[in-house]
């Protein structure tokens, strides 16, 4: 087939990119070479629109062993233990084929983690769907949840937390972001950098098929009416094979056989081989006729672009081939020596004794395009001029029940009940709290993890929204008694060729970096997902933040369920009454304009670190951060989980009760403490200049505020449970 400009454009390349390829090669590429360029130069693999700005992220920290640039980030948690973790998107595949798209997203992120020598110990996810009224939403939700559960449950890794939201902007492009956490000895971490000459290059895992071809390119394109035609680009996963691959890789990693190892993820054999060679400043020679294929007469083009799942590429030490082969054959997996490292600094491909491709590695890596795209700054919106006379006709109880039933507030038990969160026996805080927690086997340590995003705040003002979502992650970890260590991010945005979308990305990144630097909460891994739009309509900017923290003694872990009658309930942090962009404003006042709540990083850091001191001294019985929905929603969820009520005190700091109870001001926590510890808690809060309100007292079975709220726990719980169950049952 003759390679033309039109064919290059069909492969997702721009006209000017094709011209550049011809200039660099000093010839026209053949079809296989064009495929390799299209894979390596697409947005998903090259980060050509984002790389310039990602350099602004705060990535350094005392506990950081490996930051961005590897399969996953690594942080030190002491005692020679390290945590490997990352989040990835699988948005486009999940919209096209929800079950397999979500399942292979989970499989892919787990391979990124165990490729580095870590055994996965927990999964999380952030999933976003269109309006509940949209005709596709219910089926997409059902398929995605089944896919996540189907893969994670089968491989035997607990899903300990997640986030689910609904918004019109996802009608034509849902988001499925998967996160995995793994545990490894910090002295036994494996990397993807190839080293040494004439080292054998090994293919292991499943056979290569035609599924997933052009998957990476598809992930860098917008959708149109022909979306159904893209189903063949979605990979098909097999969790049972992944489990075998995991165990085989970890077994081989127990000795000194492996020089480098890389998951065949996006762009399959193309990206894995090029990235290993590029990092090692080497060449790589592959004989594609030796690649195990499950379909007949596969071409070099298909073999290089296939994204068949459960496959790895390994560079071995010489003489270790038979040893490695025995391990993989024992686990009933394919094993083949398909090439070697060279000093050519090229990728050279043979097929049936014929050279079919030859490309200098640097043309695919360092010479990939880097764009400095134009972008538009978002002005901070003017505050809403809310007519407070409207509040006179509102009833606090009715407002609370309506907000608790909001799709973005409602209990998601229907979802997490489909995930196995107890397998492995180390989960000590399950989904439904601020953060999931797993024990580190054989120690007193535990890892807390959360995943958060806030598209509304980021859409209103990306810079503030970017700062906020890092702070939300910080608070969720602190709420369970964990010291925050680091984050991973999945940055989901629309078409970067549009100045508005690019501006949202740039400013969100700047906001994320500012918060991370101030809080000493570095970014160690992540993913960028652009082109999330259909028919020229993009999603709201949705950066998802996966945070991890360390609990040195898991017996000091805190949960959010209210504990004992007579205990006192405080709000830490000042409530200013910010209603703009709140659930209250949208659900009750039908207002969706205005700025997000202001972020005060000093208060965020000070309030959080002070709370950790209180937790360390065993002064806190329960805790929950105040986020979406405000104080009343936070205390309601604490009451539901604890099966106890709270008698709320009269408001002192604000005159307007709706502003006080539903505001979404940041840097706040609800804490429960025993009366005997009142004075010492007050003393510590005063010493550290932390504002607090004495909110109320734990009661038997009712949430009460004067004569305006008298709701049983059963009523609150029913309001919070009813929406999702009813939605999925209809």
Q: Taking a C-beta distance cutoff of 8 angstroms, is the pair 101, 116 a contact?
A: no
Report residue 36: phi and psi, to 5°.
-65, -45
Question: What does the pLDDT read at residue 387?
Answer: 83
For residue 687, give the H/E element and its range: helix 678-687
3-state helix, strand, coil in the chain (%, to 5): 40, 25, 40
CA-to-CA separations, 168 to 11, 540, 713, in angstroms, rounded: 30, 9, 32
The predicted structure's pLDDT at residue 321: 97
Contacts of 50 (CB under 8 A, 6+ apart): 43, 491, 496, 505, 528, 530
Pseudo-torsion of CA 657, 473, 456, 491, nearest 10°? 180
**Mind giving me the DSSP string for 71-115?**
SSEEEEEETTEEEEEEEEE-HHHHHHSHHHHHHHHHHHHHHHHHT
DSSP count for the chain of H helices, then E strands = 25, 28
Spatial separation of the C-alpha atoms in residues 477 and 482, rounded to whole Å: 5
Question: What integer pLDDT is reported at residue 474 of this predicted model?
Answer: 98
**Distance of alpha carbon 545 from alpha carbon 491, whole angstroms:** 8
Cβ pair 538, 169 in contact under 8 A: yes
Q: What is the pLDDT of residue 232?
A: 56
Tokens representing 653? Answer: 């700091």
Listed residue (240, 690, 337, 629) closest to 454, CA to CA: 629
Question: Can you list the alpha helix ranges (DSSP code H) found in 116-257?
Answer: 137-155, 215-218, 239-252
Q: What backbone phi and psi angles, to 5 degrees, belong to 379? A: -75, 145
Distance of CA 28 to the CA centre of its chain: 40
Say how far apart CA 123 and CA 157 lie, in whole Å.
Answer: 7
Q: Measured between alpha carbons, how far is residue 326 from residues 255, 260, 330, 334, 406 in Å?
A: 14, 19, 6, 11, 55
Q: What is the pLDDT of residue 655?
A: 74
CA atoms within 13 A on the CB side of 148: 35
User: What's the rounded Cα separation, in Å, for the pair 146 and 239?
Assistant: 13
Q: What is the mean pLDDT of each run of 10 residues along the chain (730 residues)?
A: 92 94 96 95 93 96 96 97 97 93 95 96 97 96 96 95 96 96 97 96 95 62 53 76 96 95 91 95 97 94 93 96 97 97 97 96 92 96 88 94 97 95 93 96 95 96 98 98 98 96 98 98 97 91 98 97 97 96 95 96 98 98 97 98 97 88 97 98 98 96 95 96 91
* Residues composing the chain: 730
Q: How far apart (Å, rounded) are the C-alpha atoms in residues 364 and 240?
A: 34
SS3 266: coil
Number of Cα atoms under 13 Å in the Cβ half of residue 197: 5
State the pLDDT at residue 366. 85
Any bridge partners for residue 166, and if so which? Answer: 129
Q: Hey, which residues are catalytic here? A: 44, 90
């Amino acid at each position: 087939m003759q390679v033309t400009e039109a064919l290059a454009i069909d492969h997702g390349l721009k006209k000017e990119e094709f011209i550049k390829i011809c200039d660099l090669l000093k010839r026209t590429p053949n079809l296989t070479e064009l495929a390799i360029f299209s894979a390596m130069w697409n947005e998903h693999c090259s980060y050509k629109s984002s790389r310039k700005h990602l350099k602004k992220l705060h990535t350094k920290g005392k506990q950081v062993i490996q930051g961005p640039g590897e399969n996953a980030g690594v942080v030190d948690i002491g005692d020679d233990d390290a945590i490997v973790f990352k989040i990835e998107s699988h948005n486009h595949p999940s919209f096209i084929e929800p079950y397999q798209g979500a399942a292979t997203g989970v499989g892919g992120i787990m391979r990124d983690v165990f490729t580095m020598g870590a055994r996965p110990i927990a999964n999380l996810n952030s999933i976003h769907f269109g309006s509940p009224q949209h005709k596709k939403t219910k089926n997409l939700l059902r398929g995605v949840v089944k896919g996540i559960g189907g893969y994670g449950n089968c491989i035997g890794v607990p899903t300990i937390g997640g986030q689910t939201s609904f918004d019109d902007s996802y009608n034509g492009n849902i988001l499925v972001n998967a996160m995995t956490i793994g545990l490894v000895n910090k002295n036994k971490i494996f990397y993807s950098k190839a080293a040494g000459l004439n080292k054998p290059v090994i293919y292991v895992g499943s056979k290569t098929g035609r599924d997933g071809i052009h998957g990476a390119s598809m992930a860098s394109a917008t959708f149109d009416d022909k979306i159904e035609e893209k189903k063949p680009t979605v990979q098909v996963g097999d969790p049972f094979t992944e489990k075998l691959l995991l165990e085989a890789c970890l077994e081989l990693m127990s000795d000194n056989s492996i020089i480098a190892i890389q998951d065949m993820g996006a762009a399959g054999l193309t990206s894995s081989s090029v990235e290993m060679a590029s990092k090692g400043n080497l060449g790589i020679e592959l004989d594609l006729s030796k690649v195990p294929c499950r379909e007949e007469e596969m071409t070099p083009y298909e073999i290089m672009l296939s994204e068949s799942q459960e496959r790895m590429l390994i560079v071995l030490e010489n003489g270790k081939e038979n040893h490695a082969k025995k391990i993989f054959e024992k686990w009933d997996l394919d094993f083949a020596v398909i090439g070697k490292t060279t000093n050519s600094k090229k990728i050279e491909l043979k097929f049936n004794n014929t050279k079919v491709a030859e490309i200098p590695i640097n043309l695919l890596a360092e010479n990939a395009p880097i764009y400095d795209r134009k972008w538009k700054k978002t002005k901070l919106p003017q505050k809403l001029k809310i007519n407070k006379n409207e509040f006179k006709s509102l009833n606090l109880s009715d407002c609370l029940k309506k907000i608790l039933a909001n799709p973005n507030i409602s209990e998601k038990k229907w979802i997490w009940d489909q995930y196995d969160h107890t397998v492995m026996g180390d989960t000590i805080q399950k989904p439904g709290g601020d953060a999931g927690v797993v024990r580190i086997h054989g120690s007193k340590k535990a890892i807390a993890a959360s995943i958060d995003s806030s598209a509304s705040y980021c859409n209103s003002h990306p810079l503030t929204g970017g700062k906020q979502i890092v702070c939300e992650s910080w608070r969720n970890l602190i709420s369970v008694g964990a010291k925050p260590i680091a984050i991973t991010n999945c940055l989901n945005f629309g078409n970067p060729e549009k100045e508005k979308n690019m501006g949202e990305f740039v400013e969100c990144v700047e906001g994320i970096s500012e918060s991370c630097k101030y809080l000493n909460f570095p970014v160690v891994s992540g993913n960028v997902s652009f082109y999330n739009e259909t028919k020229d309509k993009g999603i709201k900017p949705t950066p998802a933040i996966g945070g991890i923290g360390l609990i040195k003694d898991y017996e000091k872990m805190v949960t959010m369920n209210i504990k004992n009658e007579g205990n006192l309930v405080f709000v830490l942090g000042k409530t200013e009454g910010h209603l703009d962009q709140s659930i209250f404003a949208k659900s009750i006042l039908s207002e969706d304009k205005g700025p997000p709540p202001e972020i005060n990083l000093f208060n965020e850091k000070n309030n959080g670190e002070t709370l950790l001191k209180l937790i360390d001294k065993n002064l806190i019985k329960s805790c929950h951060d105040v986020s979406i929905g405000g104080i009343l929603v936070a205390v309601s969820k604490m009451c539901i989980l604890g099966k106890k009520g709270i008698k709320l005190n009269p408001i002192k700091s604000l005159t307007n009760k709706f502003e006080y109870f539903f505001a979404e001001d940041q840097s706040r926590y609800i804490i429960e403490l025993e009366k005997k510890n009142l004075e010492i808690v007050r003393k510590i809060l005063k010493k550290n200049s932390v504002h607090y309100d004495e909110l109320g007292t734990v009661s038997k079975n009712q949430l009460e505020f004067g004569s305006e709220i008298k709701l049983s726990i059963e009523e609150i719980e029913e309001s919070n449970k009813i929406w999702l169950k009813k939605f999925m049952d209809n």
